[in-house]
Amino acid sequence: MAWLQRLNDPFRQPLAGSLGEVYATQLERLGAASPFELAVLGGRAMATPGLAFLIGYQAALRVLWPSAPASLGALCATERRSVRPADMQTRLKDLRLTGSKDFVTAGLDAEWLLVAARCEEAGEAPRLNLAVVYPGEHGVTLEALPTLPLMPEVGHGRLHLDQAACELLAGDGWDAYVKPFRSLEDLYVLAALVAWLYGVAQESGWPQALRLRLLALLAGCSEGSRQCADSTGCHLLLGGLFAEFQALREAIDAALRVGPEAWAQLWQRDQGVLALATAARDKRLDKAWAAAGLS
Quick: pLDDT tens for 243-284. 999 999 999 999 999 999 999 999 999 999 999 889 899 999
Is pLDDT of 295 > 80?
no
Q: Read off the pLDDT of residues 190-224 as tens digits, 9 standing for 90 and up.
A: 999 999 999 999 999 999 999 999 999 999 999 99
Residue type, 130: L
**Partners of 143 in the beta sheet?**
158
Residues 89 and 126 in one domain: yes
Q: What's the rounded Cα separation, in Å, for the pair 224 and 137?
A: 37
Query: What pLDDT is stored for residue 1 in this prediction?
Result: 66
Nearest to 237 by CA among 174, 295, 293, 183: 183
Residues 92 and 134 in one domain: yes
Q: Read off the pLDDT of residues 64-91 as tens digits, 9 standing for 90 and up.
A: 999 999 999 999 999 999 999 999 999 9
The count of structural domains within the chain is 2
Mean pLDDT for 14-39 is: 94
The domain boundary residue, chosen from 142, 168, 194? 168
Residue 43 CB contacts under 8 Å (≥ 6 apart), including other chains: 52, 55, 56, 191, 192, 193, 194, 195, 196
Query: What pLDDT is stored for residue 107 in this prediction?
Result: 86
**Partners of 157 in the beta sheet?**
104, 144
The domain boundary residue, chosen from 168, 191, 225? 168
Query: What pLDDT is stored for residue 250 in this prediction?
Result: 97
Q: What is the mean pLDDT of the chain?
A: 96
Query: What pLDDT is stored for residue 118 in this prediction?
Result: 97
Query: What pLDDT is stored for residue 277 in this prediction?
Result: 86
**Longest Cα pair distance anywhere in the chain, in angstroms?**
62
Residues 228 and 198 in one domain: yes
Q: What's the rounded Cα separation, in Å, for the pair 21 and 86?
A: 37
Residues 48 and 181 in one domain: yes
Residues 182 and 279 in one domain: yes
Query: What pLDDT is stored for residue 17 in this prediction?
Result: 87
Q: Read off the pLDDT of residues 89-134 as tens digits, 9 standing for 90 and up.
A: 999 999 999 999 999 999 899 999 999 999 999 889 999 999 999 9
Residues 21 and 80 in one domain: no
Residues 278 and 184 in one domain: yes
Q: How confident is the model at residue 2 (pLDDT cuts 50, 70, 90)?
A: confident
Owning domain of residue 279: 2-64+176-291
Residues 142 and 60 in one domain: no
